[in-house]
Amino acid sequence: MSESNPSHSRTSSVASVLMLTRWFLRTQLWVWPLVAALVLVFIGVWLRMKMEGATKQQIADTLQIILNANTEALHSWSVTMKTDAENLAEDDRVRELVVGLIHQAKSSTQVQAALLTAPQLSTLRAHLKPVLERRGFNGFLVLDTNFLVVASGRDQLVGMQSPPGNVEQFAPCLAGKALVTRPFPSVALLPDEHGNLRTGVPTMFAVAPIRSAGGQIIAVLGLRIAPDTDFTRILATARAGKSGETYAFGRDGKQLSESRFDTDLKRLGLIPDAPDARSTLTLELRDPLVDLSKGRQSPKRRTELPFTHAVSEALNGHAGVDANGYRDYRGVLVVGAWTWVDDFDMGLVTEMGRAEAFRPLRILRVGFWSIFGLLIVGAVLVYVLMRLANRLQAAARKAALKAKHLGQYALDDKIGEGAFGSVYRAHHALMRRPVAVKLLQTEKLNQTSAARFEREVQLTSQLTHPNTITLYDYGHTPEGIFYYAMEYLDGLTLGRLVKQYGAQPEGRVISILRQVCGSLAEAHAISLVHRDIKPANVFLTQRGGVTDFVKVLDFGLVKVRDPQGAAELTMAEATLGTPLYMSPEAVEHSNEVDARSDLYSLGAVGYFLVTGEAMFDCLTLGEVLMHQVKDLPVRPSERLGKPVSPDLEELLMRCLAKNPASRPANARELDDALARCRSAADWTRELADEWWRKFAATQSEKTVVTTPPGAK
Catalytic residues: 532
Instruction: Report how far residue 428's alpha carbon sits from residue 664's, in angstroms, rounded to the nearest whole number.
Output: 42
Instruction: Report how far residue 489's alpha carbon sits from residue 388's, in angstroms, rounded to the nearest whole number.
Output: 40
Helices of type H across 464-575: 494-501, 506-525
Instruction: Report how far residue 296's alpha carbon sits from residue 290's, in angstroms, rounded to the nearest whole number.
Output: 7
Q: Cβ atoms within 10 A of the Cβ of 218, count?
A: 17
Helix (H, G, I), strand (E, B) or coil at 660: helix
Instruction: Report how far residue 687's alpha carbon sits from residue 684's, in angstroms, rounded to the nearest whole number.
Output: 5
Contact call for residues 505 and 611 (beta carbons, < 8 A): no
Chain Cα centroid distance, residue 338: 35
Instruction: Report how far residue 497's alpha carbon sits from residue 126's, in angstroms, rounded to the nearest whole number.
Output: 134
Instruction: Report how far residue 498's alpha carbon sits from residue 612's, in angstroms, rounded to the nearest whole number.
Output: 6
Helix (H, G, I), strand (E, B) or coil at 271: coil
Tell me the longest C-alpha to C-alpha distance in the chain: 157
Chain Cα centroid distance, residue 47: 13
Of 237, 281, 315, 314, nearest to 74 by C-alpha is 237
Contact call for residues 293 and 316 (beta carbons, < 8 A): no
DSSP tag of 277: -
Contacts within 8 Å (CB) and 24+ apart, 694-699: 695/492, 699/492
For 344, the enclosing helix (H) or strand (E) is none
Torsion of CA 258, 264, 267, 272, to 10 degrees: 0
Contacts of 238 by beta carbon, 8 Å cutoff, 6+ apart:
66, 69, 70, 73, 246, 350
Instruction: Report the relative pairing of strands 421-428 and 471-476 from DSSP bridges.
Output: unpaired
Contact call for residues 709 and 421 (beta carbons, < 8 A): yes
Instruction: Report how far residue 687's alpha carbon sits from residue 320's, in angstroms, rounded to the nearest whole number.
Output: 101
Helix (H, G, I), strand (E, B) or coil at 689: helix
* Cα angle value 422/710/610 (rounded, 5°): 105
Of 550, 555, 545, nearest to 514 by C-alpha is 550
Instruction: Report how far residue 20's alpha carbon sits from residue 14's, in angstroms, rounded to the nearest whole number.
Output: 10
Q: Cβ atoms within 10 A of the Cβ of 111, count?
A: 19
